[in-house]
Structure 1
Amino acid sequence: MEIKLPAYFKYTVILLGLFLLLYFMQTFKSILIPLSFAGLFALLLLPMSVRLERHMPRAVAIVLSLVLVILVLALMVYFFSIQIGSFSAELNDISAKLSILISKIQMFLQDKFGIKPTNRSEFLEKALGNISQTGTAFLGSTISLTTGALTVVTLIPIYVFCMLYYRDHLRQFVFQFIPVAKRDTIIVTIDNIQQVVQSYISGLVIVIVIVAILNSIGLFIMGIEYAIFFGAFASVLTVIPYIGIMLGAALPALYVLVNTGSVTTMLIVVAIFAFVQFLEGNFITPNIVGSKVSINPFAAIIALIVGGEVWGAAGMILSIPLIAILKVLLDQYTPLKPIAFLLGDIHREPRELKLIKKLRRQRKA
């Protein structure tokens, strides 16, 4: 005899399960974070490793793929460390120029609107803080965080190697839970998920590189210092829909305003980032990443907030790829397709919605 459970009991169990999942993720984040990064890198390196395995043993192919990626990442970290170091050296000069700019703004407000200026030093200390001290503290915390994460970083290549080397064994492990009659369907589903996720992650990396180049070119034409640093920094933030462009443009715009005092130049910088963001959202991302796993801005922002609360900065980095993987998984399971639809972006109106609008217009007529 089948026992039917009330709906409120099912929803209570679902909420309890989500709570336990978040608790589990927070409790074991020291294990899950490097495993998550390793899984993403393994998906990225899988096509390269498979091609190399045609000419050499699997272990050698995986090691060569890892070495190539590590060298590229090391060069990127070295370049950004030099840029950040030289940028932090100018913080004292920027602080002095910012003080002068604020003084001019206060004088303008007093002349035009009669607003009495506050003490400039107190304003800087309380409202903006000491920029040099903030920059020093930021660099110190970054170095401390990097030192603490070295052990995690050393584990990730080991995890990636094991995932790629034992991928057939892991697939057979999954098959142990599936009846023989359904394994062919599961194989096709797993292959589809793997291909879509690989194309999404690799496409996302390509989009970030293209946006970084376009941002840097625009700033370089304007003759702005640290054009490559600002351009690359803003390109990483483009994974945050709508908000990312504002955050990415804020730092170079403020830097230009403080150094030149020209509002027009600052607005041109913002316009450059806005134009690149327009190209990215309407042409670059749709053609490279495609629309199969596109996430709508609201879902992406929620994922970033939840990822930051659960896993901190690492969670914010992982949130977009993980929610994209979740959408792919939900798309493959029919009962959960409505949730995947909710997470997805709007590219065209569904036929049902068009029909409803047509009926409404007919009724009004």
Structure 2
Amino acid sequence: MALPVQQQAKYWGIATTVLLIALWFLGDVILPFVLGGAIAYCLDPIADRFEAMGFSRTVSVTIITLAAAVVFIILILLVIPTLISQTTQLVNTAPELFSRLQAALTDRFPSILDSESTVHKQLLAIGEAIQSKGGELMNSVLSSAIGLLNVVILLVIVPVVAFYLLLDWDRMTARIDELVPRDHVETVRMLARQIDNTLASFIRGQGTVCLILGTYYAVALMIAGLKFGLIVGFIAGLVTFIPYVGALVGGVLAVGLALFQFWSGTEMVDGVAVAHGTNWLRIGIVAGIFGFGQFLEGNILTPKLVGSSVGLHPVWLLFALSVFGSLFGFVGMLVAVPLAAIIGVLIRYAIEHYKGGRLYRGLSTDE
């Protein structure tokens, strides 16, 4: 005989509470295991394909690990130093860019930005804040990133955890299946398949889209001559998982930087001030890069790699990232997407049963 509904709800509530408490108190401790688990989950289909080709699980995981190590070394040697350098230059250049914006607005809208206007005073205050806090902000971001993802975690713990989880992934899932209460095993399996489909479509598919678009934006902007093309492409690719936000944020940032870089003015070349006109062609190329990227994402990449229906609404994603990020910090942001997918599947399942129940259908409705 199955346990009463009230008792089952109590047990599942206790399990959920324990999970949230663990996230709250062990956030920094479980970070490498969360990262390792996410990597193992994303790479498991590749390992399964190697196994289908006749390789053993150990050989498959070893091949994947060696390939990942090569990619990581290439990133360390070629991409990451340039990314850090451009980020630092962008923060250091921000006060100058803001001053040029203020000067341009003052020239074009003198009646609005007079010395006594509220807008003018606010712009001055923002400029002073950027000048005083820009370097401090950069240093704090870098120190926080180093403290959060230190070299030991990146180079040792996360790869080791990912390796062993990937090696034992099938055995672990089978063991978890054995521990599921037998009265609910079919329901849990059905929900697990739906959750896996959602996560596979979103995390694996959307992750691939982010990687492709981020690489495209970075390479194309650098070829176009934009000074901070790599960091802009990195930012645009990073937030592409939220539909339209990546293109909007990256596009506004890139076009804004292009306007400052290619707008008419003077620049020092070998100690000599050289005047140049507005290069509308370069500005148009930068805008066109993001226009084509949006077309590529909406018509080719997302339909092919993610699918037409994932079940994760952009607003729901933003809400989950905000809530879990504020409650559990960086670890909360990492687990926000999978937890949002799980909660979404459970809510849809609950709504389906609610619509089939007496509460929704009423006493007069035939069963």
Q: TM-score, normalized by length of structure 2?
A: 0.69
Alignment CA distance shift 1:168-1:261 (3 Å): closer
C-alpha distance in structure 2 between counterparts of 1:19 and 1:285, whole Å = 36
CA contact (8 A) 2:191 2:346 kept: no
User: Distance in 1 between the 2:217 and 2:353 partners?
Assistant: 37
1:35 aligns to what?
33
Partner of 1:290: 307
What amino acid does structure 2 have at the position aligned with 1:237? Answer: V
The letter of the residue matching 2:72 is L
The 5 Å alignment of 1:50-129 reads 50-53=48-51, 55-78=54-77, 79-89=79-89, 91-93=91-93, 95-110=95-110, 114-116=114-116, 118=121, 124-126=127-129, 129=132
* 2:191 paired with 1:176: no
C-alpha distance in 2 between matches for 1:193 and 1:119: 48
Q: Deviations over 1:134-184 (max 9, x none)?
A: 43443344334332x633763222322332333344244334335779868
Which of 38, 41, 44 in structure 1 is aligned with 2:42?
44
Partner AA of 1:201 in structure 2: I
2:329 to 312, 326, 331: 312
The code of the aligned residue for 1:76 comes to: L
CA distance in 2, matches of 1:4, 1:41: 36
Verify the 8 A CA contact 1:256 1:266 in the aligned structure 2. yes
> What residue identity is the alignment partner of 1:88?
T
Letter of the 2:39 partner, please give it.
F
Structure 1, 46-55 or 177-186: larger mean CA deviation: 177-186
Aligned residue number for residue 141 of structure 2: 138
2:212 to 210, 213, 225: 210
CA distance in 2, matches of 1:292, 1:324: 13
Q: What is residue 242 of structure 2 aligned with on the other side? A: 240
- Mark the CA change 1:317 to 1:247 in structure 2 (over 3 Å): closer, same or farther: farther
* CA apart distance, 1:3: 8.3
Tell me, which stretches of 5 or more residues in structure 2 are unaligned? 265-277, 355-367
- Cα distance, 1:298 vs structure 2: 1.3
C-alpha distance in 2, partners of 1:320/1:61?
28
TM norm structure 1: 0.70
Deviation at 1:289?
Answer: 0.8
Q: CA RMSD, aligned part only?
A: 4.3
Tell me how far apart the structure 2 counterparts of residues 41 and 112 of structure 1 sit (CA, whole Å): 53
Q: 1:152 to 1:115 in 2, by over 3 A?
A: same
Following superposition, the deviation at residue 40 of structure 1 comes to 2.1
Cα separation, 1, equivalents of 2:181 and 2:256: 61
Cα shift at 1:305:
0.5
Counterparts of 1:164-203 in structure 2, within 5 Å, are: 164-178=166-180, 194=196, 197-203=199-205
Give the gaps of 5 or more residues in structure 1. 340-365
Residues 40 and 166 in structure 2, CA contact (< 8 A), matched pair in contact too: yes
User: Could you tell me how far apart the structure 2 residues matched to 1:183 and 1:210 are?
Assistant: 39
In structure 1, C-alpha distance between the alignment counterparts of 2:200 and 2:239, rounded to whole Å:
21
Identity percentage of aligned residues:
24
Change (3 A) 1:308 1:191: closer
The range that moved more, 207-216 or 267-276, is: 267-276
The number of residue pairs the alignment matches comes to: 330
